[in-house]
Amino acid sequence: MKKKKILFVCLGNICRSPLAEALFLQALSDAGAEDLFEVDSCGTNGQHDGEEADPRTRNNAASHGISIDHRSRKITPMDLDYFDLVLVMDENNRRTVELLCTTSQQRLKIKKLRAFDPLFPMDDVGDPWFGGEAGFELTYHILQENTALWVQRLLPYPR
Ligand code: 4NP
């Protein structure tokens, strides 16, 4: 069976998207569905290329029993062909990724991570970079809830 390929995107690929990737993988694992998907994350600015996730994100995730195993990388135009679904954290990410698209098929792959958020549908996942610990904790809960919702939506696939 062909795996469905999911890419999470934020600005630096050291706070939001690597955590989203780890939480999505955890939700897949909980559902016994890891084998059906290939998952990765990347950033739009490449400023932290090769770096591990931010220590504040890693510490917060660890406090919830989640470890993050990822090195930051910048999105490439090839990602838009390779991945089936490109889940962006905010409108800036969406605009940047859309500018890389050359076909409508690629554009249709881009969705907001909070598309199914029950309270704040289509809201941005705010950038916790400049805030304190509470921001990292809030980001964790937003990502945990919304990645679980995506797994629920995607589980009937791939066929
Ligand atoms: P992320 O957070 O996009 O969630 O990884 C950021 C990380 C780094 C910077 C901004 C946001 N930065 O300005 O370096």
Burial of 88 (0-12, 13-18, 19+ CB in 10 A): buried
Read off the pLDDT band of 128 (50, 70, 90). very high
Residue 15 annotated among the catalytic residues of the structure: no
Q: What is the pLDDT of residues 42-75, one digit of tens each?
A: 999 999 999 999 999 999 999 999 999 999 999 9
What pTM value is reported for the model?
Answer: 0.97
End-to-end alpha carbon distance in the chain = 7
Percent of the chain with pLDDT over 70: 98
Which of 40, 54, 124, 127 is flagged as catalytic? 127
Among the listed residues 16, 56, 94, 114, the single catalytic one is: 16
Ligand 1 contact via 157 beta carbon (within 6 Å): no
Rounded distance from Cα 127 to ligand 1 centre (Å): 7
What average pLDDT does range 2-8 have in this prediction?
Answer: 96
Q: Within 10 A of 55 (CB to CB), how many other CB atoms are there?
A: 9
Q: Tokens in use for 130?
A: 């400049």
The predicted pLDDT at position 17 comes to 98
The yes/no answer on whether domain 4-154 falls in CATH 3.40.50.300 is no
Neighbours of 114 (CB within 10 A): 24
CB distance 156 to 33 below 8 Å: no
